[in-house]
Amino acid sequence: MHGAIDLGARQAASRKQQERRAQGGGAPAQDAPGGPYVVDVTDQTFNTEVVERSQSVPVLVDFWAEWCGPCKQLGPILEKLATEAAGKWILAKVDVDANPQLGAYMQQMGVRGIPFVAAVVAGQLLPFLNGAAPEPQVRQAIDQLFDALRKEGILPDAPEGEQPAPGEEAPAADPVYSAAEEALQRGDLDGAKLAFERILAADPRDGEAKQGLALVELSLRVRSLDAERVLQEAAEKPGDVQAQISASDVEMVSGRIDEAFDRLVGAVRRGAGDDRDAARKHLLSLFELLPPDDPRVGKARRGLQSALF
């Protein structure tokens, strides 16, 4: 629990506010689309739904916003894993735009960007994940977190049914995936890119590695861009394919996925020769950021076929 933050002071202050509030005045937490193991919490319900609940079950807190593209990559992964865990831990989702107190509290912890995930156990808040990652890395990071908490005696041992059979060792984590996950956690995008490339060199069909590499490459491309300037240049130069490609990256990061796809389909339709092929290839690379069955990918593929033929 090195680096943990005691939420006792916040809990006490919140309790005083609740005592002054008329009974039933606070809005209850609502179940998020992930079901009973995923809840949306607010400034008013954080104490009850997160701090108090953490005394009996670990809570992972996902700080996100509607405009945040990487949040929309990470959020569904966390919801899926919380549903699979079936109550072993709870996912609490915080919209930082709608809950300014919690957004400010996150900044006070020194966190400057989202997505950000904190673990709250027995009233102690532990910074956990900063940034998006593919499902295998998120799953492994959560397992490692809870294993470490069990070793420190903060969580009970895993149920007997989850222990390896006598003489059977638990499966070892893939060291290359571990390298990618560790690089992402420390913000080393170049290291994460290299790790994903090594995975794909060994197995070019690894879908999770493809998605991870696509996400890292997108982050590398946009980290030095001025989003407003890029979008303005694309509007002023509709025939400039490179301007349209950069604008599509900015839109993907901000969660405007349909707009990014439509922009590139339009560039393919208007373009010719190398420019047309560059727009086509970039659109195909952006498809790797989403599951193959995502309806937005299907729609854009149909648009691309129409533009080409």
Residues involved in catalysis: 68, 71
Strands 59-64 vs 90-95: parallel, antiparallel or unpaired: parallel
Residue type, 62: D
Q: Which residue has the tokens 């997160």?
A: 50
Residue type, 283: L
Main-chain phi, psi angles of 22, to 5 degrees: -60, 145
Give start and end residues of each alpha helix (H) in 21-134.
46, 69-85, 100-108
Rg (CA), the chain: 22
Residue type, 251: E
Main-chain phi, psi angles of 64, to 5 degrees: -145, 175
Q: Which residue has the tokens 């397992």?
A: 143
Cβ(94)–Cβ(38) below 8 Å: no
Pairwise CA distance, residues 268 & 295, whole Å: 20
Cβ(7)–Cβ(17) below 8 Å: no
Q: Is 45 helix (H, G, I), strand (E, B) or coil?
A: coil
Instruction: Indicate the helix (H) or strand (E) that contains 253.
Output: helix 241-253
Pairwise CA distance, residues 111 & 133, whole Å: 17
CA distances from 3 to 62, 126, 130, 270 (A): 18, 6, 14, 54
Q: Give me 306's structure tokens.
A: 């129409």
